[in-house]
């Protein structure tokens, strides 16, 4: 059977991810795109455990495990050292981190790394909570979601604030390339990873990575759920190339699915009331419209 994806595998079998882990699939696709001349830094997150326990590893590329907040700094150091040794040519330096290590504790180092203009690729696989430590909320947790630190209870104590928009924060750093990607659209993900590899300068990719354990849905639904996230416009697939916005998966108004359809599939949204669901629909609509306006103002042909 032939596929449209690169054939090379740089991730061995026997890793430790949960059944249906979106992050495991995302890494596999990324490695196919970037190839063996890639050097990784991975902070505390699920992926600090997924490769396996010493002395085993599923990763066929050089990899340094780093402190939780340090991914941006680690890749800066790697890039500088490779340049100093005359070995940077043809090598892709990658920071691979979860949402916690990117949006929260790691945001400072990430901002610093991209602001300084290092030739590094930062990829965040977003499972929308601190999953490795047991499903605590992060600033990437969507409003309304149950987590162990927003456990709903009797007082509607779900996550109160909207997801921090790290993608736009990265775009606002004026870096050469910022994008979102999803395991539901592997060809798009791989194309974008290849594009990042060829760009010299800091690039940011945000991958939607569903988590059956933390979001409470059957593990075989990961890809379906990813697609639904985009079809409801909750997770738009778009890119910003040298300041120019482009939506890669345009969802036409008549095809746009209601947010409720997405919320219903996951146990973490089980206790939402109608009022909140409506508010979430309004929020998603408004963000989607904002994005479309950005394309109108800053599209590729502008």
Partner 1 sequence: MKMVLSGNASAAYGAKLARAEVISAYPITPQTKIVEKIADLIANGEFETEFVKVESEHSAMAAAVSASLVGARTFTATSSQGLLLMHEVLHWASASRTPIVMVNINRAVAPPWSVWADQTDTIAQRDTGWMQFYCESCQEVVDTMLILYKVAEDKDVMMPAMLSEDAFLLSHTSEIVDMPEQAEVDEFLGKFEPEQRLDVENPMSFGSLSMPHQYYYEFRYKMAEAMETAREKILDAEREFEKRFGRSYGGLLDLYRCDDAEIVLIAAGSMSSTIRVAVDEMREKGKKIGLARLRVFRPFPIKELRELAKGAKMIGVLDRSFCFGYEGAFFTEVKSALYDMENRPLVKGYVVGIGGRDVTLDVIHDVINDCMVTKDTKDEPFKWIGLKGGEQ
Partner 2 sequence: MGLMEIRWHGRGGQGVVTASELIAEAAILEGNFIQAFPEFGPERMGAPIKAFTRLSDEPIKIHSQVYSPDIVMVLDPTLIGQVDVTDGLSDDGILIVNTPMSVEELRSALGFGGRIYALNATKIAMEKIGRPVANTSCAGALVKVGKMVELENLLKVTEEKFGEKLPEKAIIANKEAIKAAYQEVSV
Q: Which does 225 bind (CB under 5 to 8 A by kind): partner 1, partner 2, none?
A: none
Does 161 bind partner 1 (CB under 8 A)? Our answer is no
Shortest distance in whole angstroms from residue 35 CB to partner 1: 9
H/E stretch holding 285: helix 274-298
Nearer to partner 2, 26 or 78 (CB): 26
Nearer to partner 1, 73 or 272 (CB): 73
Q: For residues 34-93, which are near partner 1 according to CB under 8 A?
A: 36-39, 41, 48-49, 51-55, 57, 59-67, 69-70, 72-78, 80-85, 87, 91
Shortest distance in whole angstroms from residue 99 CB to partner 1: 19
Question: On the CB side of 2, how many CA atoms lie within 13 Å of its CA?
Answer: 1
Strands 238-241 and 203-208: unpaired
Does 19 bind partner 2 (CB under 8 A)? Our answer is yes
Alpha-carbon distance 204 to 110, whole Å?
Answer: 10
Q: Which does 172 bind (CB under 5 to 8 A by kind): partner 1, partner 2, none?
A: none
Does 55 bind partner 2 (CB under 8 A)? Our answer is no
Does 134 bind partner 1 (CB under 8 A)? Our answer is no
Does 212 bind partner 2 (CB under 8 A)? Our answer is yes
Does 49 bind partner 2 (CB under 8 A)? Our answer is yes
Alpha-carbon distance 37 to 222, whole Å?
Answer: 29
Alpha-carbon distance 43 to 105, whole Å?
Answer: 11
Q: Categorise residue 245: left if φ over 0, alpha if ψ from -120 to 50, beta otherwise.
A: beta
Residue from 151, 219, 258, 267 in contact with partner 2 (CB under 8 A) = 219
Which sign, positive or negative, has the C-alpha torsion 111, 112, 117, 121? negative
Give the SS3 label for residue 256.
Answer: coil
Task: Indicate the DSSP class of residue 240.
Answer: E
Residues 6+ apart with CB under 8 A from 244: 298, 299, 300, 302
Residue from 17, 42, 167, 240 in contact with partner 2 (CB under 8 A) = 17
Q: For residues 103-132, which are near partner 1 according to CB under 8 A?
A: 108-109, 111-112, 115-116, 118
Alpha-carbon distance 98 to 293, whole Å?
Answer: 29
Q: For residues 283-302, which are near partner 2 according to CB under 8 A?
A: none
Angle at Cα 247 formed by Cα 234 and Cα 20, nearest 5°?
A: 45
- Kindly state the tokens that stand for 24: 């495991």
Residues in touch with partner 1 (CB under 8 A): 36-39, 41, 48-49, 51-55, 57, 59-67, 69-70, 72-78, 80-85, 87, 91, 108-109, 111-112, 115-116, 118
Residues in touch with partner 2 (CB under 8 A): 16-19, 49, 53, 212-213, 219
């Amino acid at each position: 059977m032939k596929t449209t994806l690169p054939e090379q595998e740089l991730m061995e079998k026997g890793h430790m991810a949960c059944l249906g882990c979106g992050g495991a699939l995302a890494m596999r696709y990324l490695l196919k795109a970037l190839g063996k001349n890639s050097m990784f830094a991975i902070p505390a997150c699920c992926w600090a455990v997924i490769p396996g326990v010493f002395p085993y590893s599923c990763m066929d590329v050089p990899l340094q495990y780093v402190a939780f907040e340090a991914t941006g700094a680690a890749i800066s150091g790697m890039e500088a050292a490779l340049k100093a040794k005359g070995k940077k040519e043809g090598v892709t330096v990658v920071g691979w981190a979860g949402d916690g290590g990117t949006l929260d504790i790691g945001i400072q180092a990430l901002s610093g790394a991209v602001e300084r203009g290092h030739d590094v690729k930062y990829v965040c696989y977003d499972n929308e909570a601190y999953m490795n430590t047991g499903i605590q909320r992060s600033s990437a947790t969507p409003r309304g979601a149950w987590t162990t630190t927003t456990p709903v209870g009797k007082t509607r104590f779900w996550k109160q604030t909207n997801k921090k928009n790290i993608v736009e924060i990265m775009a606002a750093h004026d870096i050469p390339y910022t994008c979102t990607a999803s395991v539901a659209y592997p060809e798009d993900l791989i194309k974008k990873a290849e594009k990042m590899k060829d760009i010299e300068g800091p690039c940011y990719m945000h991958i939607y990575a569903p988590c059956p354990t933390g979001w409470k849905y059957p593990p075989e639904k990961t890809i379906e759920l990813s697609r639904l996230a985009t079809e409801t416009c909750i997770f738009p697939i778009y890119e910003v190339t040298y300041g120019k916005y482009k939506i890669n998966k345009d969802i036409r108004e008549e095809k746009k699915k209601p947010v409720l359809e997405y919320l219903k599939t996951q146990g973490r949204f089980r206790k939402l009331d109608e009022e909140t669901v409506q508010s979430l629909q309004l929020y998603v609509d408004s963000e989607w419209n904002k994005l479309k306006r950005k394309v109108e103002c800053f599209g590729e042909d502008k």
